[in-house]
Amino acid sequence: MFFFVFQSILAQNSFDNFFKPSDSLNKKRQNSVFITEAVLASGAFIGLNQLWYADYPRSNFHLINDNSQWMQMDKVGHLYSSYHIGRLGAEALNWGGANQNKQLIYGSSLGFVFLTAVEVLDGFSEEWGASMGDVAANASGTALFVSQELIWKEQRIIPKFSFHTTQYPNYRPDLLGSSIQEQMLKDYNGQTYWFSVNLHSFAKKSKIPKWLNVALGYGAEGMIGENGEQNALIFPIKKEKYRQFYLSLDLNLTKINTKSHFLKTIFSVLNAVKIPAPTLEYSPQRGFKFYALYF
């Protein structure tokens, strides 16, 4: 009842019209998009520098091959980030009235450009280095968004993210994070990445609810250091690294029927996060495990 009353109020309010995409090019909106993106990108670089790079020495630009590290969780994370930054960039240009070609060329490429710039920062850090594997993952995230727009004119397969705290940062807070904010970024043991598939989009004549998705997830655990180092002095309990695969239900919030453009915007932003739901886990080392509610 609250939802329908709220959307009814918003639909009649001029405030809601602000979130309605423009039917034609709106230069004022377009300039606002460019300025906002510049401010957010600058703030993100400053924040990353404080969270990630500030405590490590700089070096000359160099490349590394880290494709075998962290059981590829970092690579999936790059794909996820590139996809959603590009998606939001395209939606922002759509709000400003840009045509589809400009949305795909300038908007969807935002994730690839931003994350590749971050990779340059890695290249000047003595602790890390620029990774071509990361660049390839960035390109894959952008390609996933653009290809679906070109083929289906909609996003049927959406990368999503979920996170739960683990015990590992207690032993490596410098590497895995000392706060929740840092752990969400650094502790790959607690991260799960999903490909959330909208069932109705593949069976439009069926009675499957438009908002119902099936999600396939990937995670890994037992990682306390790069290259899989298992130092008994750091982590006294011997842990084996292992991959985790998940099957779960999910919601596509953008498919919820509402006339409110404000709610559509909120749903679009939140749609990057996997909703907790009953989940089946499988790992080759541990077999099957069921969660009544998995985060």
Q: Encode the chain (295 residues) as per-residue pLDDT tens digits.
A: 555 545 555 555 678 888 999 999 999 999 999 999 999 988 988 888 777 787 788 899 999 999 999 999 999 999 999 999 999 999 999 999 999 999 999 999 999 999 999 999 899 988 889 999 999 999 999 999 999 999 999 999 999 999 999 999 998 898 899 999 999 999 999 999 999 999 999 999 999 999 999 999 999 999 987 654 555 445 555 568 999 999 999 999 999 999 999 999 999 999 999 999 999 999 999 999 999 999 9
Q: What integer pLDDT is reported at residue 228 of this predicted model? A: 47
Burial of 252 (0-12, 13-18, 19+ CB in 10 A): buried
Residues 6 or more apart in contact with residue 210 via CB below 8 angstroms:
198, 200, 252, 255, 257
At 52 the pLDDT is 74
Residue 234: what pLDDT? 55
Q: Which residues pair with 192 in a beta bridge?
A: 162
Confidence at residue 251, expressed as pLDDT on a 0 to 100 scale: 97
| Calpha distance 175→245 (Å, rounded) | 25
Cα–Cα distance between 172 and 231 in angstroms, integer? 11
Q: What is the DSSP string of 97-154?
A: T--HHHIIIIITTHHHHHHHHHHHHHHTBSSS-EEHHHHHHHHHHHHHHHHHHHHHSS
Query: Which CA distances in Å does 144 have to 36, 108, 177, 187, 247?
Result: 25, 10, 30, 25, 21
114-145: pLDDT as tens digits: 999 999 989 998 888 999 999 999 999 999 99
Q: Is the pTM above the cut of 0.75?
A: yes
Give the whole-angstrom CA distance, residue 218 versus residue 76. 9
The span from the first CA to the last CA of the chain, in angstroms, equals 27
Structure confidence by residue, pLDDT tens digits, 49-89? 777 787 788 899 999 999 999 999 999 999 999 999 999 99
Matching residue, tokens 């904010």? 181
In this structure, are residues 156 and 181 in contact, taking their beta carbons and an 8 Å threshold? no
